[in-house]
């Protein structure tokens, strides 16, 4: 007897959702990098390493 598998439409929906989240995360990562550059001199951890 074949094992039940998810329908293709469900998988497509999941992939779309994953892709959307990945794009949002890329944008967030860029924003945080930019903020880190701007606030670099004020960063306590960074100053401790120098």
CB contact at 8 A, 46 and 40: yes
Determine the Cα–Cα distance for residues 21 and 14; give it in Å rounded to an integer: 11
Q: Is residue 2 part of a domain?
A: no
* Cβ partners under 8 Å of residue 43, min gap 6: 36
Q: How many domains does the chain have?
A: 1
In a domain, 27, yes or no: yes
**What is the model's pLDDT at position 20?**
92
The answer to whether residue 1 is domain-embedded is: no
pLDDT tens digits for range 40-49: 766 666 655 5
Structural domain range at position 20:
9-49
4 within domain boundaries = no
Choose between 45 and 23: higher pLDDT: 23
Whether 31 is in a domain gets the answer yes
Q: What is the pTM of this model?
A: 0.45
CA–CA gap between residue 24 and residue 32 (Å, rounded): 12
Within-domain flag for 33: yes
């Amino acid at each position: 007897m074949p094992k039940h598998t998810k329908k293709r439409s469900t998988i497509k929906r999941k992939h779309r959702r994953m892709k959307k989240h990945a794009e949002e995360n890329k944008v967030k990562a860029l924003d945080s990098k930019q903020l880190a550059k701007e606030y670099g001199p004020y960063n306590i951890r960074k100053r401790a390493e120098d």
